[in-house]
Structure 1
Amino acid sequence: MVQDASMAHRERVSDLHIDPLTWSMTTSEIGTVIAVASARGLVAVRIGADETALEREMAEEFGRSSLRRADDAMAGYLAALQAHALTGRATDLPLDPRGTAFQIQVWNALRRIPAGQTRTYAQVAAGIGKPTGARAVASACASNPIALAIPCHRVIRGDGSLAGYAWGLQLKERLLALEVQPQAA
């Protein structure tokens, strides 16, 4: 049965409410970071400048009734995300992304791109066995629900230029620069 996009979206969103979600936020050098997690792992990470707007966005996406603020429980996630953003160090945080099979395949491929390196949309597509799927990879990157831990900022255009980052091209450029800086031991 073929479903229209709005029906598929409603079903995907309703799936998020199956288990309780916890959330917290922190302010860091890259902006305010808000994280939402299920019992299985991170479901969403967003970056912004306005705490109120980020809270409202999460409430609209997940429904206030399914969200519970848990600063202590989320502290480890937020610390790891911040360290990852500032150093590019790999993170083995448990993730619970919600998406299509193709999106999850792309997001898993993005997690294998080493810090300080980039791949083109076409290279990612070829790497997952879809050599003509660069546009579909770009779409999956644009749908990435877990900023930083799924490093879509490491994906660039075929000509080497930066393109499309939900949290702004300036932040994408900054994250890439932070990853190539030598880190103090």
Structure 2
Amino acid sequence: MMQQTRFTRDRLSALSKPDLIDLVMELAGQNALLQARVDELEKQNNQLRDQNASLVQRVCDLERRLGLNSSNSSKPPSSDGLAKPAARERRTRSLRGKSGRKSGGQHGHKGTTLKQVATPDALVHHYPHQCTRCSATLSPEAATGFAARQVCAIRLIPATESGSIRPSIPVYCGHRIRLIAASLWTTVINLSG
């Protein structure tokens, strides 16, 4: 860096005219060098400002992407990782407060259910063929009790209801055979008309 000399009025007045001209020329050269350095620093400053603006934009974009999860974007839940969402972000619970009542039908509420029809369109008898304990052969005549179930067959038009009777048959081994109704329930959908 150039060495600066302090000039006072007395010192400058003591110099001759050629020394003053040399001094002015030297100062003009230093001024030109300083102006070039200022221009270079302004150019670097503008480049750094542009770079800073692009980095600020990139940080904002990355922070926005970092805040995305499966509940606020189209990302799949598997991309959420193992971190649990914050309590304010969980939206799976209802915002409705507790009423103090138990869930389900309340005391005094008259329920409704599908009643069995008195005369079904079709009646199907289901008999077990053998005892599940001793494998003895069973006959329909040995039935002593029946359990009735109703199955609604759904068709476009008309809808029909059918009933079935499942007997309770005693076997020689003393075991009583009953067909399990849940395994025999069927739903028929006839869309062909």
Normalised by the length of structure 2, the TM-score is 0.16
| TM-score (ref. length: structure 1) | 0.16
Which structure exhibits the higher relative contact order, with contacts defined as CA atoms closer than 8 Å and separated by 6 or more residues? 1
Give 1 or 2 for the bigger CA radius of gyration. 2
